[in-house]
A and B are shown apart, each in its own frame.
Chain A
Amino acid sequence: MSLHRLFDLAEARPVLFDGALGTELMARGLPRGGVPELWNVGRPEAVKEIHAAYFAAGADVVSTNSFGGSRIKLAAHGLESRVREINLAAARLAREAAPAGGFVAGSVGPTGKFLKPQGPCVEADLIGAFAEQADGLAAGGVDVFIVETQYDLREALAALRGIRIVSALPVLVTMTFGSFPRGYFTIMGDSAAKCAAELERAGAAAVGANCTLASDQMAGCVRALRAATALPLVAQANAGQPVASPDGTIGYTQSLEDYVSHVPGIVEAGARFVGGCCGTTPSFIRAMARIIGKE
């Protein structure tokens, strides 16, 4: 018996996540240095429109606009008193945009602060902050959580624990790995295999990789994760590396065609949840939907 209908679906076929959110907000006027999560309460229609565009493109799951929604991250903008309001709104907006059968994943990103000895935080700080964020997301009606873009395994584990305090919903966890001569590692030096094994032991429902790696590098990382865990795997690659053009606009090195050409390899390597990260748009997701046989 599966713990969740999203995981039943993942057994039947690869499940499609959405792509980048921040750049979509900017395309709708989020200013430089603006707080994306604040738009959940300030410009809810714009946020909902983006979620709807990803669902329309063929995404099965969208991630809420709450990546930087922890107390620690919001405090950098003086918004620490609005954690619940912002996260609850994030979940509600995605929920409202979801068609029948569409799923909402509550996005939980890193706090941006390191644990001791590299930084000022202790585990209890992070666990508390993540629990508070998750509580708001759960109240707004998410189906699952996705702890994403984590570069410190200890922080990812703290996020899992924090979420567990307030919710029994499944938690997917993606870490950000770089490609090194000895394999795939976080900036803290934890290998893909170690992350997968420890996150599984801590109760993650799925583990994976997102950001940094381009789609042509992702299959290798997925294989490294596969060797260490039997859990369903998540893969959300960047569209290559960001490049600034003379007029100040930003492009990414991978074209849509090149990006999606590597998707079959990523699925073949074992990913059951695929989606995009930086540089991807609803057009990328639409092309991926065709490739994984959704349409």
Chain B
Amino acid sequence: MTKTELFPKMNEAIVAGDRETAARLAAEAVTAGLDLTEVVERGYVPGIQKVGELWEQGEYFLPELISSAEAMKAAMAVLEPEFERRHIGSRMGGKVVIGTIEGDIHDIGKNLVASMLQAGGFEVYDLGADVKLERFVDKAEEVGAALICLSALLTTTMINQRRLIGLLQEKGLRGKYKVLVGGAPASKRWAEEIGADGYAENAVAAVRLAKALAGRP
């Protein structure tokens, strides 16, 4: 298949949340020796962007969003080894450390954001739920992350988002990372108040924000 035939099909596979087709088309692109950066940017990325739009319009819901993110990941899993083999940096974004903050076991929203960030080309280190503040910092230092994303569902645990920023300041690392906050009780105002770098109200907005902070289109 040529690019003009492949790209719309890749797009459709992502919008339909069809993992098998998304992965099969990626394999075809590899076999055909296509420019894989172009394959990602013109074949797959428009699909996941369309999914984001459908979600924000209230046409797509959580199951569709998860299926599409999974399809995106399946395609990327096929392309990754090729990028490495050809010594091309495939990841368009930077590294992200994400987790639900200390004291909070709720992880549905966080998982969705992690999944969408990964689908959006970020290298995601998901620390899970009830993550000690020090672990966020240690992991970010270890992997050389650009972003730290903090989730909190409870009004009682969101205060720990502020404490993490304090911890970064104490360690003299605040300038090194962009800190994003999210979760039901968080807000733009809250993010500003605690000195975070941004707030996103849903997974799609989170990817948009992360891209903006990483200086990506």
Residues of A within 8 A of B (CB): 23, 26, 32-33, 76-77, 112, 114, 117-118, 180-182, 185-189, 241-244, 246, 248, 250
Contact = CB atoms under 8 A, between A and B. Distances in A.
A32 B157 contact: yes
B57 A243 contact: no
Given A180-B58, A189-B60, 8 more contacts: A23-B155, A32-B156, A33-B130, A181-B57, A188-B63, A242-B155, A243-B187, A243-B190
A112 B106 contact: yes
A118 B102 contact: no
Contacts of B104: 33
Given A244-B185, A246-B193, A26 B64 contact: no
A244 B58 contact: no
A210 to B, nearest CB: 14
Interface of chain B, helix or strand or loop or mixed? loop
A77 B158 CA distance: 19
A189 B63 contact: yes
B189 interface: yes
Contacts of A180: 58
Interface of B: 57-64, 66-67, 102-108, 129-130, 154-160, 162, 184-187, 189-190, 193
A223 B160 CA distance: 39
A186 B61 CA distance: 8
A248 B105 contact: no
Contacts of B185: 242, 244, 250
B61 A185 contact: yes
A208 B129 CA distance: 30
B63 A244 contact: no
A189 B130 contact: no
Contact of B193 (A118, A186, A242, A244): A244
A118 B187 contact: no
Given A77-B105, A112-B106, A189-B64, A250 B155 contact: yes
20 contacts: A23-B155, A32-B156, A76-B130, A112-B108, A114-B108, A117-B66, A118-B62, A118-B63, A181-B57, A181-B58, A182-B59, A188-B62, A189-B62, A244-B185, A244-B187, A244-B189, A246-B193, A248-B159, A250-B156, A250-B185
Contacts of B107: 112
A242 B103 CA distance: 18
B148 to A, nearest CB: 19
A189 B193 CA distance: 33
A82 to B, nearest CB: 16
Contact of B157 (A33, A77, A118, A181): A33
Nearest to B66: A118
Contact of A188 (B61, B105, B159, B193): B61
Contacts of B102: 33
Nearest to B163: A248
Contacts of A26: 156
A76 B103 CA distance: 11
A114 B58 CA distance: 21
A196 B144 CA distance: 49
Given A112-B106, A188-B62, A189-B64, A244 B158 contact: yes
B191 to A, nearest CB: 10
A239 to B, nearest CB: 12
B103 A32 contact: yes
Contacts of B129: 76
B108 A33 contact: no
